[in-house]
Amino acid sequence: MEAAIPLGLALPRSSTGICSFSVLLKSSRKPSLSCFGRVLGKPALFPPRAVSEDRADATPQWQLDFLGAGAGSPDPLEEEEEEEGEELLPAEATDWCVRARRSALRSIEARGLAPSLQRMVSTPKKKKKAAAKKKDLKKAAAELKRRKKQLDAALEDEDGDEGEDDDDDEDVVDDLRDMDDLELRVAQFADGMFDEKRQRNREAFVQTLSRFSAAPSNRSKEVSLNRSIVQAQTADEVLALTVEVIADVAKGLSPSPLTPLNIATALHRIAKNMEAVSMMQTHRLAFARQRDMSMLVGLAMVALPECSPQGVSNIAWALSKIGGDLLYLPEMDRIADVAITKVQEFNAQNVANVAGAFASMRQSAPGLFSALAQRAAQILQTFKEQELAQFLWGCASLNECPHPLLDALDAAFQNDARFQCHVSDVTSKMHQEMDRPLNFSRDQIGNIAWSYAVIGQMDRPFFLHIWRTLSQFEEQRVSDQYREDMMFASQVYLANQSLKLEYPNLGLCLRSDLEEKITRAGKSKRFNQKTTSSFQKEVGRLLYSTGHEWVREYAINGYTVDAVLVDEKLAFEIDGPTHFSRNLGIPLGHTAFKRRYITASGWKLVSLSLQEWDELQGEFEQLEYLRRILDIEAE
């Protein structure tokens, strides 16, 4: 048999020899089995070292990498030597490289060249691992960007197509969940560097949009944007224009044309375009819940301190028209705080619009209304008839009595010659000298009369002049075909009844023929249509368990009471959320007036609110509570 040449003696002692051998081992050409099989089958020149039981743990990772052993593979250094003269079997042909590297490794270690081999093995792998990590980061970031674009498109489709199946909503939720998982994985790369950068970009975006007064201005861009907003024909067009500018500012547009004036104008035009097409309330709420619309309202709240009094007024009016009494509760609180600081700069229109906005949204603001009343008294001469009627109506709706304004009105108008009433809606502006009559329309007269009745100030001189002008309507036909007529008739009827009950000494009741005409219109079925809530039905069912004979939907001098005990003259009112301000829970003007009116009619009144009812646990406790409050009031 031909003597085998040990591999260890075949290697030169230079690093060049190591490199040459490494290249040889990595070559894709496979040597003949007749040669290498006999060579690798002979015992190595250097006998194997003793191996302990935990040898795998002691073997350096670079040696395992050199020998081709991955994680979980047996240590090639622990493999037993092949018996002398044994040929490689076909199944073992793939192990020749590992055996050759093992022999080479021992020879290299014996010659003290292990550090050089370690650098050759370890360095390229680290670079490869770093490059792979960077590649994975780029791939994940690209995937995140793609998924976000898909999600934005899905959300836009959802807003535009209300009739889509619920499966689309589930897909959007799944996309959100998947995107959150993807963001979490991306944030874990580079020790959270990606996530931190995203947070910094977001903060920079907010700061860029919030710097309204500090940044330099570009008057031409501001005017151009304002003109485009005003000329937009729909609410969607206004929002699209504004969002486009917001995106440009976020990308670095400077100076920003998105001034507080333009933000206020955008919200005002959105609401105005909704009013122009009489958009349904459900559609307005859906529009308000859009992401872009929420962002615009948020920017308006940031810019509010920098807005002019007209801007504050426009924003308050716009939110009341867009959200009604269902949205923007914290936003209106912020408007109240800012408006108080600017109230001395308000004109008559600002005062009237802010008061009307808070009243229509059932948003109590005692401090603001006190300041508005003071300001209204100071600028009384500048009020138009419509503005005066609107401000008084707003105060009465929230049960806020504007004493300073009432005193100013009593002092300014001393005789009937200053009053003139007509049926048309033509309005005019009061002169500073107060030398011409006021031209109130019919609806304005009705609003003012109702307002004075609600706040309990019907003995005021100004109200006496207003009430006497109602005689001019004797020749006018009050129709029950239009809601405007019914509203006017109802307001005048309640004011007339209040004069009978609370101010009989004034002798200001309407003549019998005119009173009959107004009463007939006010009692129209169309106007008095009443809906019974589930809350009222639930309480009404338990009322019969108290042992009393209740009469439901009982009429008392024009008012309908939920339930009464006729013999005891006990009236029971079930007041839902619409009877109270939505933020403070204070009874609204119409609720307070009804309670006072029924009491003045000689009835004992018990009121139960939804909030009180919700605090009770179970029917037993609810029934006991009803019995307790009814017994107290009936004694």
Q: What is the pLDDT, as a whole number, of residue 324?
A: 93
Q: What is the pLDDT, as a whole number, of residue 290?
A: 94
Q: Following CA atoms 588, 590, 594, 595 in sequence, which dihedral angle do they give, to the nearest 10 degrees?
A: 10
Q: What is the pLDDT, as a whole number, of residue 53?
A: 44
Q: What is the pLDDT, as a whole number, of residue 421?
A: 59
Q: Following CA atoms 257, 260, 262, 268 in sequence, which dihedral angle do they give, to the nearest 10 degrees?
A: 160
Among all chains, which residue has been given the structure tokens 């836009």?
156
Q: Domain segments of the chain: what residues?
A: 216-345, 346-424+436-529, 534-630
Q: Residue 131: exposed, middle, or buried by beta-carbon count in 10 A (0-12, 13-18, 19+)?
A: exposed
User: How far is Cα 437 from Cα 465, in angstroms, rounded to an integer?
Assistant: 12
Q: What is the pLDDT, as a whole number, of residue 182?
A: 55
Nearest to 25 by CA among 122, 117, 111: 117
Contact partners, residue 225, CB within 8 Å, separation at least 6: 241, 245, 257, 258, 262
User: How far is Cα 436 from Cα 588, in angstroms, rounded to an integer?
Assistant: 35
Q: Alpha carbon of 400 to those of 454, 455, 628: distances in Å?
A: 10, 7, 32
User: How far is Cα 612 from Cα 625, in angstroms, rounded to an integer?
Assistant: 10
- Express each pLDDT in 103-156 by its tens digit: 888 888 887 777 777 777 665 544 555 566 667 667 766 776 676 666 566 545
Q: What CATH number matches the domain at 534-630, 3.40.50.2020, 3.40.50.10190, 3.40.960.10, 3.40.630.30?
A: 3.40.960.10
> Of all helices (H) and strands (E), which one includes residue 260?
helix 260-276
Instruction: Please identify every stretch of the chain with a pLDDT value under 50, giving residue numbers as ranges.
Output: 1-56, 71-72, 78-93, 125-126, 155, 158-170, 172-173, 175-177, 179, 212-215, 425-435, 526-527, 632-635
- pTM for this structure? 0.65
Q: What is the pLDDT, as a whole number, of residue 207?
A: 59
- Express each pLDDT in 493-518 by its tens digit: 899 999 999 999 988 888 887 788 77
Is-contact 350 384, C-beta < 8 A? no
